[in-house]
Structure 1
């Protein structure tokens, strides 16, 4: 009887330990196949002469060399640098100001916070379409101003080769600033109030209080916001397609739109795969150091 009970106990312990793995194994297999498997397949295609269909004839680094010789890719890199830098700076600045404003324990804070966060609930397609209508000189802001009698008012950035990229920045900042605000607000609420009171007793002004105490303690929130925003900037696609379609011309071409057009429109799958790998490496260059620093801090 004792041996039977021991065997039953061991079987129960084994089942208890194995059950979570059994439940999670299908999800793990799906992730391995449809995420990492397809990533590996894309990397392989970037070294082949694939065009309209995948090919398994290796051509080495030819696709990468040709990629960086393309003027369209150069424009896409330049645009993502402009878009990404302005996007991150303005989102962090506006998000921080909104978070400081809400941290003053104002009335109706919950309602105002919901208003700030609402744009993030919209898809980028909806945001791009709405801003396209708003910025269109024929039906948007410029047309409204003209109907009110201000016929000299002009705001046709969306039709300008030089200014169109900044309309992408405006729409993206409008949608994401509330999300960044929530991250900074959580950081502000985590700061020890006793430290702030002690600084106020010592005569520190509000400006010095935020510059020397509050903002330095928001470093984790800043790092998280920058990583998330940089990742979103690199892979931006649907907002650009809905707002400008990559135009006028190639004025708002980004790596994601370049990758789609060369893979599915121009039938240059090898070059499209190479651009996708460059995007993946760019995201990894941001995410891996951040995750490594977070894990190191937890161990320490």
Structure 2
């Protein structure tokens, strides 16, 4: 009798085939995706880093060359120009998009009429690709087709807006197009954050006699610090990887006055047969992304632990 009971307990404790399948099925389903992610993202990332340490030209080479490609990169005038342009474009794009997005979010937070329609209008550019945005703004800013020609047709013959063909101003056309595309998305992020703040806090501040500008500046905006972090991460990521917008709008010109690192990497890797130099520029772009992402993740993890 006791032996029968022990055998029954062992069978009950032993998991059935259905239980085993239920346990392993999610892992089996996710395994191909995880494998593709590891190989196609992290594997190719390390492969690119290895190529940046070789003398690869038209085809990958296995001849180790140390930091030669990085030294050539730092001596390349076009690379220095592209990094400088990235600093100008990235900082102006991030600052204007965030300031404009915060302003629009605060405006829509006042429960104005037709809020849904206005929000849709502001968000619509985000539905377009950067290729479409770049092409549209190339027509708008073209001196022979766009704003300048329109003003001349209206009789303002002295009006000039030739930034697209001006070497000193061409990089700012990228800022205009990128802000037009992304500020609506930033607005939606901050609007969601504003709607998540307890309205009783604002009412209590109003009872204490605080004005609405003071309430937003000293109470509401500090509560949106996580949203600010997210906006900075997203906009900086857009700026660093910008390729299609530059290709469609300026193609890096005139000359390479509006060149960005992503366009530099493509040109040297796929059109000039300098795979090693292109790989080194790609690794430098990755380092720029990590320099922004790692401190953000560190702050988030530290807050969760505390």
Aligned to 2:231: 225
Aligned to 2:193: 187
- Are positions 1:57 and 2:66 aligned together? no
In the alignment, the residues of structure 1 paired with residue 215 and residue 186 of structure 2 have an alpha-carbon distance, to the nearest angstrom, of 21
Shift of 1:292: 2.2
The residue aligned with 1:148 is 154
Larger radius of gyration: 2
Quote the residue 1:201 is aligned against.
207
In structure 1, the residue matched to 2:84 is: 78
Corresponding position of 1:299: 305
1:290 matched to 2:304? The reply is no
Superposition deviation, residue 4 in structure 1:
8.1
The alignment status of 1:178 with 2:184, answered yes or no, reads: yes
- The Cα shift of 1:296 comes to 2.3
SS at structure 1 position matched to 2:15: helix
Q: Distance in 2 between matches of 1:60 and 1:13?
A: 53
Report whether the alignment pairs 1:22 with 2:20: no
**Aligned-residue offset at 1:3:** 6.3
1:105-254 equivalence runs, <5 A: 105-254=111-260
- Separation in 1, partners of 2:146, 2:8: 83
What is the deviation of 1:218?
A: 1.1
How far off is 1:10 after superposition?
A: 4.0
Aligned-partner Cα distance in 2 for 1:128–1:109? 28
CA distance in 2, matches of 1:172, 1:107: 28
Offset, 1:299:
2.8
Could you tell me which runs of 5 or more consecutive residues in structure 2 were left unpaired when the two chains were aligned: 1-6
Structure 1: any 5+ residue segments left out of the alignment?
none
Query: What secondary structure, in the 3-state scheme, does the structure 2 residue paired with 1:246 have?
Result: coil
CA distance in 2, matches of 1:128, 1:299: 43
Mean CA deviation greater in 236-245 or 12-21: 12-21
Deviations 1:131-163 (CA, angstroms, capped at 9, x unpaired): 000000001111111111111111000000000
| Equivalent position SS for 1:9 | coil
Name the counterpart of 1:255.
Answer: 261
Moved over 6 A (4+): none
Moved more, 270-279 or 101-110: 101-110
Shift of 1:8: 6.4
Give the RMSD, CA atoms, in angstroms.
1.3
TM-score by length of 1: 0.97
Query: What is the match of residue 4 of structure 2?
Result: none
Give the total of aligned pairs: 300
Shift of 1:255: 0.4
TM-score (norm 2): 0.95
C-alpha separation between the residues in 2 aligned to 1:119 and 1:298?
35
Report whether the alignment pairs 1:35 with 2:68: no
Question: Partner residue of 1:12?
Answer: 18
Q: 1: distance between equivalents of 2:73 and 2:207?
A: 61
